[in-house]
Structure 1
């Protein structure tokens, strides 16, 4: 019965389309534009959100870091200088957490500071030099294209070795391999043992591994002052997947840090526990507002389109009044007539919606600078669902009118 109704509805809808092509196209235009606007807004919003979140991928995932201040949601009543007066993380605290944390798979320690790097007559400025512990590669992704990672002995002894980013390699060694060569910064010579794979620039211009250099942390302390008025290192702990929201890890870290720093129960913590997801959540709230705006803009267009579809359905009922009378006289039930016209309205809206989605799909091929735009299956399904709902809303009144027609009066009207 369903397939029969669907087949007849598609056939009648096609007749409406082919017989009154211009009228139908103008009526479907509102649905097409409305769906196109909504899907376009959500596609751009989703793409922007993804690209921006990818820009913060250097912060890692499923990771909790110990810093002086929060990434987001700082207390507005606390003066900014208070955060700088907080004690810096120490290597001893890192080793204590690494030895005692039960809810962390790996714990890393690192500090960063920008500097100039030289090789012979070539130099590159504002390069982020990271002093890292051996566990850094287990917490954050370190994708080495050529060469190797540090050995445990090189890390522990603070050897003068380095892993450089793609941009550093191209700037200092445009015509030769950097492996085994010595580069200089702040009076220290560093032997290159590895080159990172190219990452490319992010949408927000956030730090990229292309302009980064990794060295052992103990070597880093020979080049930069570490402490309250110098570099403030971070401790990063990678949690387990089963620890939803890393709640257990954060609670354990807070308890251990308060203990090792000798804080009393009523004293406020003099450190901040941060998660990259906090930034992602803040970004998501902004894009939610943009999404609501998309619904409002597209909603008006869909409303106009819905009235257009309703008009087509009323005309279709009027033109097929005699046919309805014949169907009823032959035993057709009211629900059969109702669903016949309702499916027709849904089919017409789906044509308009599919056209809108198709337009958005072709628009994604237009270059948008550093923004990579893609139409997701979620948004395609959204277009289909919204079109179907508009079809039901627009077609229910004309369909109900057709279903309630008296067969005798319907045949006389024809």
Structure 2
């Protein structure tokens, strides 16, 4: 009960100090507000970016490696493009070779892409991304079918002109209609819609293209249209759940592909085994740098704000010296006076930090393209925690000065 009464008295004194010196208090707390805003804004944007990009990376598969000509350039050092340029392209024959022989794989998939291809239905048309795939594509990537169905084995084997289309393609080519079973033209050829994907929405980084504007077709049908000019594909291998780190799958793929291409033991690989984890690690490193930058920028403002709060508290102690003397003469303990001024400092700092967090929350309503900014509870707690620490550090010395005053001298002061 006594503690609650002291807390109430401390809160009342802090509120009176805030109201009586509103301009001085506001200017002093501005540093804390700006500092907390800078730190929490950077943390919130970084978290939102990281979440968005990791969701995009999840779309290209978990426990998946990609066999390609070019390695993903996320490592340090010089990118030796002139050496990679001379490598052979992965081919459909190599895909079939691996599909038949790989044992440490849940799925082996062939895929290829062509962007900005016009698809038509009557007077309706759209610039679409065409992706040729083999049967097991839905095992390495999320392909939620809202209407219709996925490809059958017979359709893939026979390279039939069938398509699984995205939500935007369906709405544009077949407005207010059920597209399943209807025809449209792709590259001058007739294709039948067998399914429509659920709307996924555009992400910040669309690995593999915007799924809502994509048309999936059998890899054989894709090859008949495009591989006479550029007969190359990407091969994706999904490892088994028991294969930790895909070590067994990677070793088996490397051995089979080296043998297929006739590489000698001392020759280096003429293909790249790319993993989404490499992209995730590179992105995490970039975000770590941004996070440090946010702390550095915010720390300067918080430092200024801390000195401002300390200045307010020293002035407050001087203005209330007589009251402190009266309180002590009536039996107030040193810790009670200490707590009173320390609480006031923390309270003022929390106001500054709360305003900074409020500004970040308002920032989350601003539309930044496909990036959705979300202020997480963890970042709110971080902002309030930092504010409390700054208030405690800034207020401890003035509170000690007030607590150690001699009551007789304090009462006599004016």
TM-score, structure 1 normalization? 0.84
Stretch moving more, 345-354 or 69-78? 69-78
Match of 2:219 among 206, 217, 220: 217
Change (3 A) 1:248 1:376: farther
The Cα shift of 1:407 comes to: 4.2
1:163 paired with 2:168, answer no
1:274 paired with 2:244, answer no
Asked if the contact 1:106/1:138 (under 8 Å) is kept, the reply is yes
Match of 2:87 among 80, 85, 89: 85
Stretch moving more, 119-128 or 306-315? 119-128
Could you say what secondary structure the match of 2:160 adopts? Answer: coil
1:149 paired with 2:150, answer yes
Stretch moving more, 203-212 or 255-264? 255-264
d(CA) in 1 for partners of 2:289, 2:145: 40
The Cα shift of 1:148 comes to: 0.8
d(CA) in 2 for partners of 1:262, 1:338: 80
Could you say what secondary structure the match of 2:181 adopts? Answer: coil
What does the per-residue CA deviation read over 1:75-105, in whole Å, with 9 as the maximum and x for residues that have no partner? 6262336345234144554563675443x44
Change (3 A) 1:384 1:231: farther
The Cα shift of 1:311 comes to: 1.2
What does the per-residue CA deviation read over 1:201-236, in whole Å, with 9 as the maximum and x for residues that have no partner? 34457611122211222333322327xx72422222
The Cα shift of 1:37 comes to: 2.9
Matched residue, 2:353: 353
Asked if the contact 1:94/1:235 (under 8 Å) is kept, the reply is no
Stretch moving more, 215-224 or 277-286? 277-286
The Cα shift of 1:405 comes to: 2.9
1:63-102 pair list within 5 angstroms: 63-73=64-74, 76=78, 78-80=80-82, 82-93=84-95, 96=98, 100-102=102-104
TM-score, structure 2 normalization? 0.84
The Cα shift of 1:122 comes to: 4.4
d(CA) in 2 for partners of 1:256, 1:338: 75
Matched residue, 1:235: 235
1:341 paired with 2:341, answer yes
Aligned length: 411
d(CA) in 2 for partners of 1:317, 1:244: 63
Matched residue, 2:38: 37
Change (3 A) 1:3 1:94: farther
1:281-360 pair list within 5 angstroms: 281-325=281-325, 334-360=334-360
The Cα shift of 1:58 comes to: 4.2
d(CA) in 1 for partners of 2:252, 2:331: 73
Could you say what secondary structure the match of 2:131 adopts? Answer: strand
Change (3 A) 1:345 1:211: same
Stretch moving more, 359-368 or 347-356? 359-368
Stretch moving more, 166-175 or 146-155? 166-175
The Cα shift of 1:239 comes to: 4.4
Asked if the contact 1:94/1:108 (under 8 Å) is kept, the reply is no
d(CA) in 2 for partners of 1:330, 1:97: 89
Matched residue, 2:114: 113
d(CA) in 1 for partners of 2:264, 2:6: 74
Asked if the contact 1:130/1:213 (under 8 Å) is kept, the reply is yes
1:249-260 pair list within 5 angstroms: 249-251=249-251, 253-260=253-260
d(CA) in 1 for partners of 2:183, 2:5: 78
Change (3 A) 1:36 1:86: same
d(CA) in 1 for partners of 2:7, 2:165: 63
CA RMSD of aligned residues (A): 3.4
The Cα shift of 1:380 comes to: 1.1
Asked if the contact 2:342/2:399 (under 8 Å) is kept, the reply is yes
Asked if the contact 1:119/1:182 (under 8 Å) is kept, the reply is no
Matched residue, 2:197: 196
Change (3 A) 1:274 1:8: farther
Matched residue, 1:9: 10
Gaps of 5+ in 2: none
Change (3 A) 1:12 1:93: same
d(CA) in 1 for partners of 2:30, 2:243: 50
Stretch moving more, 86-95 or 128-137? 86-95
Could you say what secondary structure the match of 1:309 adopts? Answer: helix
Asked if the contact 1:60/1:139 (under 8 Å) is kept, the reply is yes
Gaps of 5+ in 1: none
The Cα shift of 1:391 comes to: 0.8
d(CA) in 1 for partners of 2:91, 2:335: 73
Asked if the contact 1:97/1:253 (under 8 Å) is kept, the reply is no
